[in-house]
Structure 1
Amino acid sequence: MAPVGAPATTGGDTHRIDKAIVISLAEAHGFRLAEESDLFANAEDDRTINVFDPSIRRKSDRFLLRFEKNQAPDL
């Protein structure tokens, strides 16, 4: 996960993205956030190191989101 407020271009440097960007993109395509979990969170990750760096690889701070497709309105 990228730091809160990080631009989408951060992904090109660190392979991370701000959770808010993912939620916004999903909502723009007709989904709503149904649930989220901190199952993959790691408070010790400062979110600035590339996720492929051996010091953080497979231990980066990550998020888990579940989306549901918005229902079409009844006609």
Structure 2
Amino acid sequence: MKVIANNGLLVPMEGQPRRYIGDGEAVTVEDSAYYRRQIADGDLSVLDEAVAEATAAADAVAAKVPDESDSKKGNV
């Protein structure tokens, strides 16, 4: 997937902490938990629409999963 850092940020590459993704040029990276976390935190933006839609769909599914504390309270 292609990602770019949001304005003014430098995000370390996964496994290469001295190389950075900046806000000047998009970089192709693996679809890994590390980059998904950076996207969720707002540090990176995805440039590929299909991947962005898949990420949004996965986030929507995760939001619908009931919290364990709700099941203990009988709120499920």
TM-score, reference length from structure 2: 0.24
> Larger Rg: 1 or 2?
2
Bigger share in helix: 2
